[in-house]
Amino acid sequence: MRVTVNLSSMVKPAEPTWSGRLALSELDQTGMTTHVPTIYFYTQSSKNWHNVLQTLKTSLSTTLVHFYPLAGRLCSITGGRLELNCNANGVRFTEAYVDVNLVDLDDFSKNPIFDQLIPSVDYRNTPLEDTPLLLLQVTRFVCGGWSLGFCISHVAVDGQSALHFLSEWARVCRGEPLGSPPYLDRKVLRAGDPKITCVNRNIEQHAQFSPPPILLGQSSNENERKQETTVTMLKLTVTLVEKLRNKANKKPETERRFTRYEAVTAHAWRTACKIRNLEPDQKTSIGICIDVRRRMNPPLPEKYFGNAIVDVIATGTAGELVSGTLGFVSSKIRDTIEKVDDEFMNSVIDFLKNQEDLSKFQDLQLIKDEKGPFYGNPNLGVISWLTLPIYGVDFGWGKEIFTGPGTNDAEDGDFLILRGEEGGGSLIVALCLQVRHMEDFKRVFYQSIEED
């Protein structure tokens, strides 16, 4: 497959927008500071491809008037902190062509790496203040089908906000009025507030800000970071999902009713411990990404535009996870999630506000070769897209035939849970593991579902 770039340009808001520095919350600037890639595939759109491109760009320009922070740039301030400069410099829009048909890609879920179809960011050679927050690539296939590569800064937005923008862009492209404008004031998460004078919790009580466990007998995770990794997508039919839920909810071992997310996450964690051949007393953690919009008191405003997510950590030993029931491991997931409430979130914000330098809590590996938290062996990190409105994005020529995450920045231990293509409760687990572990993981992952 060879992709030819025809044109790359900046698309700016169609009208003048507010300009100035926008304060970012602590939740915006801790964790992943790179861009998140997603891709959409569409069948033949129109015989007049030029009109398609012009419609996409014109509607994008109109949508950016309402979502003007995305047309800005990040800038550094003191203490490793960032601000958003709303300067209307625009988003990058690339037009490209590829010398294959859509059908040549076969099963999309078995071809998760589409690096040539998703715009990349040269972090090392492009100054932060010159790097677009949003990069788009529209690629036309020989058959007339096309793809949209969507790459957006995780400092600017989380998944909910990114997809809010995408859905509104699609509405405008279809000729409809904007549905729901974004809520742009991040002060509801105390963005820009000064350092507080006291802290009720310390770093030991916020495990997500402490280094994850490393393998017994090793002094660092450097060796594990260097291991070759690979990515796969594992399909879970409705039947397999229900089998996992039934195992997790088996009585009399538990009176709790665990969700499919909790059961699948617990199953993946146990499986990883098994195939990595961890010692029984090996400590292991799983980082769980939680949307806090409805967990704050009061809840965040509707269509809050920014990052409203926090990572929390479930821990255990490999021995107890492997020997325990799926219900036992699921309860560790549930207990960790349930502690995220308004008090917890304010303590997280208080803790971060008291840090002299936030950069130690940022994943800067791709930008400055600095090492952020590593949730590879013996750990995992899970993100759920189950509640994200990623499907049914129609720009006026029909809904997508497939959408999925890009994988160009995945690390060992990263896994993502998505709704399955079949719907009705089926799931897909997108997983990155070391090459030496992947085949064993796939075998044990499926086999152990069938075990009593």
User: Which residue is catalytic, options 154, 206, 267, 437?
Assistant: 154
| 401: amino acid identity, one letter | I
Inter-axis angle of helices 238-248 and 326-338, to 10 degrees?
Answer: 90
> How far is 401 from 445, CA to CA, in rounded Å?
28
Per the annotation, the verdict on 154 as an active-site residue is: yes
From the list 185, 394, 409, 440, the catalytic residue is 394
Q: CA-to-CA distance for 108 and 106, rounded, in angstroms?
A: 6
- What DSSP designation does 19 have? -
Q: Judge contact between 369 and 37, C-beta under 8 A.
A: no
Side chain identity at 6, as an amino acid letter?
A: N
Question: Does an H or E element contain 433, and which?
Answer: strand 427-434
Dihedral, 179, 185, 186, 187 alpha carbons, nearest 10 = -140
For 155, residues 6+ apart whose C-beta sits below 8 A from its C-beta are 24, 28, 29, 33, 74, 82, 84, 133, 307
Tokens of 147: 């793809």
Give residues with Cβ within 8 angstroms of 110, minimum separation 6.
Answer: 233
Phi and psi at 407, nearest 5°, equal -130, 15
452 is catalytic: no
What are the φ/ψ torsions at residue 308 (nearest 5 degrees)? -130, 50
412: its two tokens: 């060992």
380 token code pair: 């995992």
From edge to edge, which strands make up the β-sheet containing 229-236?
229-236, 427-434, 414-419, 380-384, 283-291, 309-317
Rounded alpha-carbon distances, angstroms, from residue 309 to 163, 263, 289, 369, 413: 15, 21, 7, 25, 19
Strand segments, DSSP code E, in 269-366 are: 283-291, 309-317, 362-363
Looking at the annotation, which residues are catalytic?
154, 394
